[in-house]
Chain A
Amino acid sequence: MEHAVALSAAGGPSHVAGHGTGHLEEEYTTTGIRHDKMGMWVFLCSEVMFFTGLIGSYIVLRFATPLWPVPGTVLNIPLTAFNTFVLICSSVTMVQALAAVQRADYRKMKLFLCLTVLFGAFFLCIQGVEYWKLLHEGFNPHVSLFGSIFFTTTGFHGFHVLCGVICMAFVTGKALLGKYTQAYHQGIETVGLYWHFVDLVWIVLFTIIYLF
C-alpha cells in the first residue's frame, strides 16, 4: 500500500490492485482526485477549446454576415427540440446508472446503461433524419456559409455522440457481464463525464444554432 502511495505521489503509475479478485486497494493521488477522472476532465477541457473554436467561428460569422437566414425557416426546430429532450433523457439515465451502482443496485445499473445507449443511438438516428431532409431540400454544406458552419458544427458534435455511444456500449457490455461493483465502477463514472459533456455542448449548440 505504501508503495502504491509513493508511486502515485511521485506521479508514477498508480493502480487499483486486486481488481477482478474482489479485493480493492485504495488509490492515492497528490490532488486527491483519481487519475482517470482527472485525465477525463483535462481531456474535456481540451474539448471545450475545440468546441469554442467552432461556436466562436459561428458567432463571428453570424454577426459579420448581413444576410443570415432565420434558422427557423431552414431548420426543423420542433424535431431538434425533441432531440435535445432525448439527449437530456440520456444524461439523466446515465447519472441514474452511476447512482444505482453506487448503492449496489446492479439491475437498475444495467437497465439505465442500456437506456442511455438507446437514447444516444436514437439521438443519432434523429440527427440522420434531419440531415437527410435538409439535404433533400437542397440545404447542404456548400449552399451557403450558414450551411457550411451548420453541418461542420453539428457534424462534429454528432461524431462525438457516436464516439460516446460506442464507449457507452462497451461499458454497458462490461456491466452486463458483471464487471462493475459498488467498489469498482470507475469506467461508468469516467464515460459518464464524457457523456454529460456531450449533452452540455448540445445545450449550447442548440441555443446558438437553432434559436438565435
Chain B
Amino acid sequence: MKEQPEAEPLHDAGAHKGPNYMTIFWWLAGFTVFEVAYSTILTPPKALLISGLVILAGIKAVLVALYFMHLRFERKTLGIIFASTLILGAILVSVGMAEHFLPRP
C-alpha cells in the first residue's frame, strides 16, 4: 500500500507579531491622495501618467495582499498559487495589448 505523505502541522498566519495596520492604512490613504493629485493636478505626459499610476496602484495592491491578507506571514505555497494566477492574468492582458500595438499583416 502506498504510504501517505506526512502531514505538516497547521500553519497559523495569526501566530506572527502583527504589523502596524494603521501605518499601512495611512500609506494606502496617502498613495490614493497622491494618485488623484498626480492625475488631475500634475497631469504629466500620458506615458508618464500611465506608468506612474500603474506603479502606485501596484504598490497599494501589494501592501493590501502582504499585510491585510497576511500573505507575507503565510506559507510560500499560497504566494506561489496567487502569483501564478497574477502571471497568467498579466499574460492575458499582454496578448490583448499586443493585438493593438504590434503591426498588422
Contact = CB atoms under 8 A, between A and B. Distances in A.
Interface in B30-64: 32-33, 35-36, 38-40, 49-50, 53-54, 56-57, 60-61, 64
A207 interface: yes
A95 B99 contact: no
B8 A95 contact: no
Interface string A22-42: 000011111111100110011
A207 B8 contact: no
Given A88-B32, A92-B24, A207 B57 contact: yes
B10 A41 contact: no
Given A9-B7, A193-B69, A204 B92 contact: no
Interface residues of A, number: 60
Given A30-B5, A98-B14, A211 B81 contact: no
Contact of B78 (A41, A59, A64): A41
Contacts of A63: 97, 100-101
Contacts of B89: 48-49, 52, 56
Q: Report, as a range, how many residues of chain B touch the other chain.
A: 35 or more
B61 A92 contact: no
A203 B32 CA distance: 9
Contact of B8 (A30, A38, A85): A30
B55 to A, nearest CB: 10
B32 A81 contact: yes
A132 B101 CA distance: 36
Interface in B81-103: 81-82, 85-86, 88-89, 92-93, 96-97, 99-101
Contacts of A34: 10
Interface in A77-93: 77-78, 81, 84-85, 88-89, 91-92
Q: Which 9 A-B pairs have the closest CB atoms?
A: A52-B89, A32-B8, A207-B57, A45-B85, A211-B39, A60-B96, A56-B93, A92-B25, A9-B7
Given A8-B7, A99-B21, 8 more contacts: A37-B78, A41-B82, A48-B86, A48-B89, A56-B89, A64-B100, A72-B39, A92-B24
